A and B are shown apart, each in its own frame.
Chain A
Amino acid sequence: MAAPGLLGRKIGMTQIFDEKGAAVPVTVIEAGPCPVLTVRSVDRDGYQAVQLGFRNKPRRLASRAQRGQVAKLDSKRSKRLAAAGSVAVLKADCEPQRFIREFRSSAEDFTVGQVFTVEVFADVKAVDVTGTTKGRGTAGVMKRHGFHGQRASHGVKKVHRHQGGTGMNTSPARVFKGKRMAGRFGNERSTMRNLKVVRVDQENGLLLVRGAVPGPIGGYVVVRPTNKIVRVPTAAPISKKKAASK
């Protein structure tokens, strides 16, 4: 069973040339290897999911809880439980992981400790990439909501980047809830859907997708095969060029 997705890190953007010689803007994502840390089941957890980890964290930096999540740690409690005949939870037996996420998945044949690499995307045409956007702090309405601002001249005084009005007059005599205004912008979860997979570099564990991906360079991302449904047009539209030549 193929992995439901992979965890990765944004390396940055560049451009490469495709086989036709066209320059393609790509984002390089270091995807995987991702060990399976836990498999959630309906019986035990009430839902089905698989938990993946990404990027080793030095043991000296990891807390005991983080170390215990990936490997068996001896403790008085575990010894007591073992003596009482309790079955220990399976551990992946790997280094502590920096970035851990769960994927809901109906498939059951995941084994704890199994490692997924970027080759799971070898046959995937397009992916969805989820990340945390760059935090922009307090931002005005032009940057945050794409307002047009006000004119540079014609009597506009010191409000060139402001919004216009925020509502009506005596009735309703208030500003509607949800009115778009200046404020905190960025640093939120965002997904870019249907990014074309340009190249899968199994040797170096790299995934190249066409276009931009949310977040800063070095930011963690979740990569999944796209859930976008491709609608196939029933009849191919006749292009203008072809029509003209006829």
Chain B
Amino acid sequence: MKENRFLITLYYKALFMNTESQSDTLREINDIKRIMERSSRFISLSGLSGIAAGLCALAGAFFANRVLKNYYLKYDVSGYKVEDFISLKFKLLMIAGIVLIAALFFAFVFTWRRARQNHLPIWDLAARKLMWNVLIPLVTGGIFILTMLQYNEWRFAAPACLVFYGLGLVNGSKYTLSEIRYLGFLEIILGLESTQFINASLYFWAVGFGVLHIFYGFLMWWKYERKSGTL
């Protein structure tokens, strides 16, 4: 009996003070925000993906540097040879291809893992939008760079990589973690800067794709994933 009366009092309190509907309303607004966010941004992008891609890039830059050094050692001894130059181009392209595939693979693995942990689909509307918006500048840049190589214009390959990649990130940042925008700006600035130090462009490339990725990946991991208790 007493308990009943207590309940009735509570009920009236809720009715008049509206605390109950207030928390309902809050929950509703939060739901709306969550759905808006999730349907427009791909939030599963893992910081570890960035770190892994950065490590791949550093390894690639290391091997490319060695290949270039060996080429110039031989060049200084026996001069320009067509077959040496062709083999150099082939080796550099191979390294670039392997780095690209490895970086994409590891980036995918960590992001897939994060999506699974959060019980989110990896391939949804936001993921598709992100992909298209990054790919448009990126594929344009890729074709442009290959065309430059076709005409033996290799000097601006590394700066162009940085610039077009940066444009891809800026363009895609609307559909994922917004901090990616600043990473994009940094890549563009680095790419433009490296055109003035063309002999050191491999180092700029290593900083842009290696160091910045690791740095940014760590930052994103620290900000969004650290608390979830997974490495």
A, B bound: no
Spell out A's residues near B (CB within 8 Å).
none
